[in-house]
Structure 1
Amino acid sequence: MTGASGVGKGTLRELWLRDQNVFFSVSKTTRQARPGERPGLDYHFVTEEEFVAELAQNGFLEHAEFAGNRYGTPKGPIEAALASGQDVILEIEVLGAMQVRQQSSEAVLIFIMPPSLSELRRRLEGRATENQAQIERRLTRAREEILEAHNFDYVVMNDDLERAVLDMHAIQRAERSRSSRISREALKQIVES
């Protein structure tokens, strides 16, 4: 899932995944932690050198630079979770989502949409973690990202948090029910029972 900075991805994700056995991939970033962020739970905060070394070893499923900082999704934990049959959730940037789509046709891309740019501005200003110039850069980027929403499988409007969580659950149920996700062996077991 992706969406503009400040759209509420983290809050939506936490509520959506509550009480589920789903693997949430914690990204690595070179940016500094914001107040309240928990290392290892929200992000793995690494140095530029550590990030570049992992990138050189092809250790990321996807990676991008945003607002002067690098972000990447480590491959290893995702491959292990998928091999064990778990659903995997990534909270990544738009460019990263496109990289994932190129690598996996089974990936389901969800774009979290703000109700408006003025509401997005209010949310960014309300979290009080960036100066006005940084907020303006994020809003400029948000305009670009919103125009890419048509490249995603689903768009969830985050204007009402409870409804947005219900929409995320509906997407998850629908995707688990796709006939292409049912193995031939599972179908044979049903027929033979």
Structure 2
Amino acid sequence: MQKGKTFIVSGPSGVGKSTVLRLLLDRKPDIYFSVSSTTRDPRPGEIDGIHYHFLGMDTFQERIANDDFLEYAEYVGNFYGTPKKNIDLAMNRGQDVILDIEIQGAIQVTSKRPEVVRIFIAPPSWSELERRLTERGTDSADKIQKRLVRAKVEFQTAHTYDYFVINDSVESAVRELTAIITAEHCKPTERMALINSRP
């Protein structure tokens, strides 16, 4: 059995990562989506263990001390972390894994596991990103501006990623993500290893 691959998906807040990934996972239910831990409060409709593992700050700090996270980072006043145990179990079962994490976390993961595939999702324009953040209705005007400033900083690192997807429509973004995953499994080293493992 071939071991699964890990795909990091990053992009600015409001770019539509959650919507794109939800549709991708509906169409490819064999992919394991890593549920992050966070110290932020749940948004309306979010369920613990499905959208995030919601933790108190003390518990989060204990997990850091126990080296339970593949990565963790602070983002706009809250901490986010990726538990590594379930990721490793899924990959060993042959499942591909998707991590929805921001730039700092992606750098941490890549430094530990350079074989990960990094995908940056960008908005079609800055005005569209501002519109999406505003229409989401979850942040104050001040927080939206902070997110836009943060987005421009994140955009400056996009060239370090392996792939760049523009989310001008959810359908096209999902098609491109699916194509990337397929292409990564067609690399010569993986295909040759697969042939050589067969009797």
TM-score by length of 1: 0.94
Q: SS at the partner of 1:16?
A: helix
1:189–1:25 distance in 2 versus 1, CA, 3 Å = closer
Q: Which structure's relative contact order is higher, taking Cα pairs within 8 Å and 6+ residues apart?
A: 2
1:149 aligns with 2:158: yes
RMSD across aligned C-alpha pairs, in angstroms?
1.2
Partners in 2 of 1:189 and 1:60 — Cα distance? 33
- Which residue does the alignment assign to 1:69? 78
Taking a change above 3 Å as real, the CA distance of residues 55 and 188 of structure 1, as seen in their structure-2 partners, is: same
- Of 2, 6, 22 in structure 1, the residue corresponding to residue 14 of structure 2 is 6
**Amino acid paired to 1:61:** L
**Aligned counterpart, 1:99:** 108
Q: Does 1:181 align with 2:190?
A: yes
Gaps of 5+ in 1: none
Query: Which one of 112, 118, 122 corresponds to residue 121 of structure 2?
Result: 112
- Tell me by how many angstroms 1:188 deviates: 2.4
- Structure 1: 4+ residue segments shifted above 6 A: none
Percent identity between matched residues is 46
Secondary structure at the counterpart of residue 109 of structure 1: strand
Q: Secondary structure at the match of 2:33?
A: strand
Q: Deviations over 1:84-123 (max 9, x none)?
A: 1110000001111111111112200000001111111111
Per-residue displacement from partner, 1:63-84 (whole Å, max 9, x unpaired)? Answer: 1100000000001111111111
| CA–CA separation in structure 1 for the residues paired with 2:145 and 2:79 | 19
Say if 1:100 and 1:183 are closer, same or farther in 2 by CA, change over 3 A. Answer: farther
**One-letter amino acid of the structure 2 residue matched with residue 7 of structure 1:** V
Q: Tell me the TM-score normalized by structure 2.
A: 0.92
Deviation at residue 160 of structure 1 after TM alignment: 1.5
Matched, 1:46 2:55: yes
Q: Residue in 1 aligned with 2:6?
A: none
Deviation track 1:133-154 (CA, whole Å, cap 9, x = no partner) reads 1111101000000111001000
Displacement of 1:189: 4.7
- Cα distance in 2, alignment partners of residues 51 and 180 from structure 1: 39
Distance in 1, Cα, partners of 2:45 & 2:65: 31
